[in-house]
Amino acid sequence: MTTTHASRSDQERTLLASIPAGLLIDGQWRPASDNGVLPVTDPATGEVLLEIASATPQDGADALAAAAAAQRRWARVPARDRGEILRRAYEAVVARTEDFALIMTLEMGKTLAESRAEVAYAAEFLRWFSQEATRIDGRYSVAPDGNSRLLVTKKPVGPALLITPWNFPLAMATRKIGPALAAGCTVILKPAALTPLTALLFSQVLIEAGVPDGVVNTIPTRHAGAVTGPLIADPRLRKLSFTGSTEVGQRLLKDAADQVLRISMELGGNAPLIVFDDADLDTAVNGAMLAKFRNNGEACTAANRILVQEGIAPAFTERFVARVKELTLARGTDPDATVGPVIDQDTLDKVADLVADAVQHGATLAAGGHTLDRPGYFHEPTVLTNVPATARVMREEIFGPVAPIVTFSTEQEALELANSTEFGLVGYAFTSDLNRGLRVAEDLEVGMLGLNSGLVSNPAAPFGGVKHSGLGREGGREGIEEYLETTYVGIANPYQSADL
């Protein structure tokens, strides 16, 4: 495996050299069966960070064979022991916060502060599910007619394919691996081709924490469809958990139908953030900054449309624009950076096109609006006002540091605007009227609502969307259910033949 990091600090070089650059299959690190490699680049410079093994369909088949062979053994490991392994992994991730933060910043671009926050968030899924492992239960009951006895138990669904995106390279992996291992499922992790290094480091930590051979298999690849397609078609695979775009999710849903696979889909978003006249201005501005610019705006939960009621709109816009102008766009490793580069040239081009399209349709550029003329993929934090409904930015997921603001006059109008999308992941509402907040919670077509809060992600809460934003929930008590099957045993009345 070759590396190109002549201009890197000693710390970066040492970390890159320590990343296992192979595929993890059945507890062994190995090259791809065709010796193919996947170059991983730094979005802040465009330079190659590291070349790692790129799995072939044969490697995928080996990973599934290993996961299937380990399934029965792993399911029989006592829940307490599975939980202890996850707990050790939690402690190891926290202890290595700086390594995980740096590798994420290098391969994904976000600032080190953002990466550290992701490490803390990601680790919590391991702690949460280390505890949930011991709470898998069932029930015994007497049927209503007083005859049959009903025994209901839970068991792991079986080998699971976990496909993750590039925007939260660690948290999207722990949010799936945590509940899967807790439930007793073996897994094949297919991380995004753009950010596989974090997943490789995390896989190494899992092995060190005591995950047995074959239980976690990690296969980065340049050929996502060719490698995962045969796995989805294989009857030994029993579960697919996917986080990524709606477009790819829809395709995978169709493929998964043939084997009637258990499915979890965490897909795209187009979050409305609604600021009502009665909102506390500071809370609303802080919430909007967080909901929009966290993770460079590259979050499925990012506020995509900021809807502001007419009375508060001038004050909100002035304060929000001033805050956006204070952001510092720089390489994620720069201690002053508050926003980093976007992930790649395609994303940079898409974000620039969306801004140009909005301006062409009559929107006003209130802050930013340009790409930087330097290596890497930098787009200024941008605010657009007076954005017409016809602009693409109102309908498409932006996935970048661009905030479109539109005004509304009534609560009814805000809800209609907010719901006028096929997506339904998350919404945000800022109001000091509790009843209004509760009405929005009931009427907004979303899986999650941030009420006077610009952040909803919490390992103890069920994360997920409705409509085209997905199926199923990750995190919370619901998260482990996605990896469990229910078995019901019908038992004859034990008193039937008793001589009492």
Judged by the rule CB under 6 A, the positions of this chain that interact with ligand NAP are: 163-168, 172, 190, 192-194, 224-225, 228, 243-245, 248, 251, 266-269, 300, 397, 425, 465, 470
DSSP three-state, residue 237:
coil
**Running DSSP on this structure, what letter comes out for residue 329?**
B
Residue whose C-alpha is closest to residue 111's, from 386, 358, 283, 297: 297
Number of other CB atoms surrounding residue 255 within 10 Å: 16
* Closest CB to ligand NAP among residues 184, 472: 472
Q: Which is nearer to ligand NAP, 82 or 350 (CB)?
A: 350
- CB 165 to ligand NAP: min, Å: 3
**CA 146 – CA 144 distance, rounded (Å):** 5
Half-sphere exposure of 290 (CA within 13 A, CB side): 15
Q: Judged by CB, which is closer to ligand NAP: 83, or 401?
A: 401
Question: Cα–Cα distance between 474 and 83 in angstroms, integer?
Answer: 18
Burial of 293 (0-12, 13-18, 19+ CB in 10 A): buried
Of the two residues 82 and 190, which places its CB atom closer to ligand NAP in the complex?
190
Q: What end-to-end distance do the CA atoms of the chain give, in Å?
A: 76
The active-site residue, picked from 107, 132, 300, 482, is 300
Nearer to ligand NAP, 83 or 447 (CB): 447
CA distance 365 to 419: 25
Q: Which is nearer to ligand NAP, 173 or 440 (CB)?
A: 173
* Cα distance between residue 63 and residue 45, in whole Å: 34
- Smallest gap, in angstroms, from Cβ of residue 229 to ligand NAP? 7
**Known catalytic residue at 208:** no
Cβ neighbors of 435 (< 8 A, separation 6 or more) are none
Closest CA to 168 of 140, 147, 192, 151: 192
In angstroms, the CA 22 to CA 102 distance is 20
Closest CA to 284 of 417, 435, 437: 437
**Closest residue to bound ligand NAP by CB:** 244
Is 185 a residue of the active site?
Answer: no
Active site residues: 266, 300
